[in-house]
Amino acid sequence: MNQAMISAIQITIAGMGLVFIAILVLWLVMALLVRWTGSRSDEDLTNEAHQAAAAAVAFALADRAGRKDLHEFPPPPTAIVSAWQAVMRGKMLNKRGSVK
């Protein structure tokens, strides 16, 4: 093997090593961040559980009461064609010719 090929292989190995080291460092930083910021007290978890249970009960009661109070959106209005749109559509029809 000539010297150029050996240098190319060494540079490739060094680059790959740096990439894997950077990936491991990022993994370590993420693991530390999760450990430091991820601790939550049991009181917070039980409070969230109570809120979720209250929301579920409220939803069940509203569902049992019926769907009378639900707001229905009106259908969208029909397309109102402006003068500009009418002229442009007429031009398009004249350009294409009559439909048979």
3-12, 16-25, 84-93: which range is least confident on average? 84-93
Residue 83 lies in a domain: no
Residue 62 lies in a domain: no
- Per-residue pLDDT, 64: 76
pLDDT cut 70: percent of the chain above it: 80
- Per-residue pLDDT, 19: 98
Boundaries of domain holding 24: 1-54
pTM of the model: 0.39
Residue 68 lies in a domain: no
What would the pLDDT profile of 18-51 be if each residue is shown by its tens digit? 999 999 999 999 999 988 887 666 666 788 888 9
Distance CA(84)–CA(86), nearest Å, equals 5
Domains of the chain: total: 1
Residue 92 lies in a domain: no
